[in-house]
Amino acid sequence: SAVISQKPSRDICQRGTSLTIQCQVDSQVTMMFWYRQQPGQSLTLIATANQGSEATYESGFVIDKFPISRPNLTFSTLTVSNMSPEDSSIYLCSVEPPDGHNEQFFGPGTRLTVL
């Protein structure tokens, strides 16, 4: 497994602003993922972030709204841009360890409330 931390753990933001969420892993991993979990819902994959290449976004998510950085094998950021109340969710990063078999390990999440 891997130990994953996220910052901030929670935030309350104003409409129209942007928030950058950080994800730090205690070991080097190739595959990192960002998910959104809307209130009372399941997890939805936003994008896959691989070091050294552009993030791959899922249908319904675009780079302008959710820019992602992956500067090295232990760190990634997700920015939620030009926020609206509909962006209020928990944002989770996850990793697949190099020796894994498709299992992913999750960070504690960032609870975002947009007013």
Partner 1 sequence: GQQLNQSPQSMFIQEGEDVSMNCTSSSIFNTWLWYKQDPGEGPVLLIALYKAGELTSNGRLTAQFGITRKDSFLNISASIPSDVGIYFCAGPGISGGSNYKLTFGKGTLLTVNP
Task: Return residues touching partner 1 (CB under 8 A).
Answer: 1, 4, 31, 33, 41-45, 48, 92, 94, 96, 101-109, 111
| Separation of alpha carbons 9 and 111, rounded Å | 6
| Separation of alpha carbons 17 and 93, rounded Å | 21
Nearest-approach distance from CB 107 to partner 1, in angstroms: 5
Select 86 or 101, whichever has its Cβ closest to partner 1: 101
Nearest-approach distance from CB 16 to partner 1, in angstroms: 27
| Separation of alpha carbons 102 and 38, rounded Å | 24
Strands of the sheet containing 19-25, edge to edge, are 4-7, 19-25, 75-80, 68-72
Select 53 or 102, whichever has its Cβ closest to partner 1: 102
| Separation of alpha carbons 92 and 107, rounded Å | 6
Select 29 or 114, whichever has its Cβ closest to partner 1: 29
Nearest-approach distance from CB 92 to partner 1, in angstroms: 5
Nearest-approach distance from CB 95 to partner 1, in angstroms: 11
